[in-house]
Chain A
Amino acid sequence: MTKEQRLKKRYSAEKRFKAYGIISVCAALLFVGILVFKVFSEGSGAFVKTAIQLELDLSKEKLNLPEKPTKEDFENIDFYDFAQQHILKIYPAITTKEKKELLTLFSSDFEYEVKDFILSNQNLIGQKVFFKITAASDLDQMHKGNYTRDIPEERRKVSNFQLTIYDFLLKENKISKIFNNYLFSNGDSRNPEIAGIGGAMLGSFFSIIVCLIISFPIALLAAVYLEEFAPKNAFTDFIEININNLAAVPSIVFGLLGLGILLNVFELPRSTSLVGGITLALMTLPRIIIPCRASLKAVPPSIREGALAVGASKVQSVMHHVVPLAMPGTLSGTIIGLAQALGETAPLLLIGMVAFVVQVPGTPMDPSSSLPVQVYLWSESAERGFVEKTSATIMMLLGFLIAMNSIAVYARQKFEKKWI
């Protein structure tokens, strides 16, 4: 081979290698793009809901209220009957079947919606007001275009009579899309139109806080001890190997640990974010210790020597100089560890956070779900209404993860910039 040929070959090899790199980056971006597009196109619908406008006659006769109503009188109103009467007025339905079909166009919770509205707007008593009631999931899905109506009636969830009402309401301009507040305020439900991720978000939040409170101090102290104080011997080598191995243990194993120890031995309350948080903390500990140790190791030894040489004790040199300098690394390592914990499903399944929880938890001691588990639960539901909810939950989860990782990057840059 001549010199020119070799040169040519070398150039083409370099070009080829570069091309491989670009292709793999493009492939990765394409997959991320597909994922994001699918999640967003499916999930964005869940942030709005279909509502039907009702005209409510809030006169005292209709509500069965005396001239000077007391609090008790309000409690005694038959809201179901009241709401039902108004719904039936919206379209002439004669047979029982027709009446039933008309009523099932509305969310199963219509009674409570009306009740909440009236109880919080008592100044409107005596007037006629327009009120938007959440529509049932099937109507909602049809209005959003997720159901086609060009199939035989028996394969449709919406009957011919209901379609007639729907068309009538559309013409009357009584159907609209409004912001879906239930998505953020409600817990889980069997009815997609009133199911929300409020409970799951709070559950995740409590779990992560418990996880942070337990894992960060322990991990930091363990890292400081192992990196700065521990003698280098076979025992500490053994510990180091174990920490590295623990970080790679499948998360479901920690779920088993939580089930076996926390629930069965210590008898902590099942399905709570307290137990979830402790389990996640066990899982996260080694994953935080490793970056903490790395960032402590990255502090130049000259800083330690400088502190020791002016007569600082070992603890002083570590606490005054090494740990503050390692802070950007330890913080971002912790946040990334927590972000992993936030997305973890398997260990939570085992400690019972997969239960169907309607109540929004008020404390970490209440049974609750979590965002990834909610995705898992809803993805198994057959109802069409849960499909967009699943994607919306994924969007929220991704949003939180991106936010946490951004904080990690920001923390790292902010603290590192200080002295450069």
Chain B
Amino acid sequence: MDLIMDNKIKIKSNNLNVFYGQKQALFDINLEINQNEVTALIGPSGCGKSTFIRCINRMNDVIDICRMEGQIQIDDKNIYDPGVDVVQLREKVGMVFQKPNPFPKSIYENVSYGPKIHGIGESKDDLDQIVENSLKRAALWNEVKDRLEEPGTSLSGGQQQRLCIARAISVNPEIILMDEPCSALDPIATAKIEELIDELKKTFTIVIVTHSMAQAVRVSQKTGFFHMGKVIEVGTTEQIFKNPTNNMTQDYITGRFG
């Protein structure tokens, strides 16, 4: 069953160029990301993977010196159109960061914050339900259900990261961006997150930046290799890791540089 061919394109970037001040970080990125799939972005440090995914939810808007040209389309609509509201975009495109960053508030408040500000949960019961569902889907419910009032920062690193995933899915996004979500975690916590990603792709489109080739192989269906701000090669994960067409990709995945 070749799911990949059937999938429709969720995110599409057209000739995306990004600059930090004078320095160009991304060069003519053209990339298509399929719905309900995990797309892994690999490449050496500073190659622009993180910059790229931060463009998808316009997180780079926060950085004063950051400037971009070109388009990113989600469901065929350019998210950089003047009429697009960033807050609504980010409700649709959630993000999980490299270092777990729960709010220094209770576990409950961490998950209920998003629904609250978007008016998704009207009553306390609704919110309770959303918190429970989100934590369940983030495979954290059983560990924290008796201590929802404790600070989110009191959890272990892996739990904190799953709390951040719960926070991201609490507002029912369509896309989840993950920026090296396991780089600060130990192997056991990493395994749990990877399992979770596999589960989540049934509902969400996931883009994950990773430094671990093994992780890309384990979790993703499609892989893009970035180098020096350019996309060198994109393809199914199997193809990229088994017979890459580009020499640089070959060198990178075999560990000859990067």
Interface string of A299-319 (1 = CB under 8 A from B): 010111111111111001000
Min C-beta distance of B178 to chain A, whole Å: 11
Interface string of A391-420 (1 = CB under 8 A from B): 000000000000000000000000000111
CA distance A302 to B164 in the complex (A): 12
Q: Which of A354-370 contact B (CB under 8 A)?
A: none
Docked-complex contact B101 and A312, CB < 8 angstroms? no
CA distance A45 to B164 in the complex (A): 64
Which residues in A have their C-beta under 8 angstroms from that of B151? 418-419
Question: Which of the candidate stretches B137-145, B166-174, B230-238 sits at the interface with the other chain?
Answer: B166-174
Which residues in B have their C-beta under 8 angstroms from that of A308? 59, 62, 90
Min C-beta distance of A420 to chain B, whole Å: 8
Task: Answer yes or no: B113 CB below 8 A from chain A CBs.
Answer: yes
Q: Which of B149-183 contact A (CB under 8 A)?
A: 151, 153, 164, 167-168, 170-171
CA distance A302 to B62 in the complex (A): 12
Closest residue of chain A to B167 (Cβ to Cβ) is A310
Docked-complex contact B168 and A310, CB < 8 angstroms? yes
Task: Answer yes or no: A155 CB below 8 A from chain B CBs.
Answer: no
CA distance A321 to B102 in the complex (A): 11
CA distance A420 to B114 in the complex (A): 24
CA distance A249 to B31 in the complex (A): 57
Interface string of A271-305 (1 = CB under 8 A from B): 00000000000000000000000000000101111
Docked-complex contact A311 and B103, CB < 8 angstroms? no
CA distance A311 to B62 in the complex (A): 13
Which residues in A have their C-beta under 8 angstroms from that of B94? 309-310
Which residues in A have their C-beta under 8 angstroms from that of B171? 310-311
Partner of B118, one of A302, A306, A307, A311: A311
Which residues in A have their C-beta under 8 angstroms from that of B87? 311-313
Partner of B114, one of A302, A310, A418, A419: A310
Bin chain B's interface residue count: 20 to 34
Most buried by A among B64, B88, B101, B170: B101
Which residues in A have their C-beta under 8 angstroms from that of B62? 304-305, 308
Task: Answer yes or no: A320 CB below 8 A from chain B CBs.
Answer: yes
Which residues in A have their C-beta under 8 angstroms from that of B114? 310-312
Task: Answer yes or no: B132 CB below 8 A from chain A CBs.
Answer: no
Task: Answer yes or no: A231 CB below 8 A from chain B CBs.
Answer: yes
Partner of A311, one of B88, B153, B164: B88
Which residues in A have their C-beta under 8 angstroms from that of B99? 302
Which residues in B have their C-beta under 8 angstroms from that of A420? 153
Which residues in B have their C-beta under 8 angstroms from that of A306? 97, 101-103, 164, 167
Task: Answer yes or no: B135 CB below 8 A from chain A CBs.
Answer: no
Task: Answer yes or no: B210 CB below 8 A from chain A CBs.
Answer: no
Task: Answer yes or no: A211 CB below 8 A from chain B CBs.
Answer: no
Min C-beta distance of B154 to chain A, whole Å: 8
Closest residue of chain A to B101 (Cβ to Cβ) is A302
Min C-beta distance of A310 to chain B, whole Å: 4
Most buried by B among A303, A308, A310, A418: A310
Please, how many residues of chain A have a CB less than 8 angstroms from a CB on the other chain? 22
Which residues in B have their C-beta under 8 angstroms from that of A305? 59, 62, 95, 97, 101
Which residues in A have their C-beta under 8 angstroms from that of B113? 307, 310, 312, 320
CA distance A65 to B146 in the complex (A): 80
Task: Answer yes or no: B37 CB below 8 A from chain A CBs.
Answer: no
Docked-complex contact B59 and A311, CB < 8 angstroms? no
Which residues in B have their C-beta under 8 angstroms from that of A309? 57, 59, 90, 94-95, 97, 168
Q: Which of B90-126 contact A (CB under 8 A)?
A: 90-91, 94-95, 97, 99, 101-105, 113-114, 117-118
Most buried by B among A303, A305, A306, A311: A311
CA distance A325 to B151 in the complex (A): 14
CA distance A418 to B117 in the complex (A): 24
Q: Which of A102-136 contact B (CB under 8 A)?
A: none
Which B residues lie at the A interface, using CB under 8 A?
57, 59, 62, 64, 87-88, 90-91, 94-95, 97, 99, 101-105, 113-114, 117-118, 151, 153, 164, 167-168, 170-171
Q: List 17 A-B contacts (CB under 8 A).
A: A304-B62, A305-B59, A305-B62, A306-B102, A306-B164, A307-B103, A308-B90, A309-B59, A310-B90, A310-B113, A310-B117, A311-B88, A311-B118, A312-B117, A313-B87, A320-B117, A321-B103
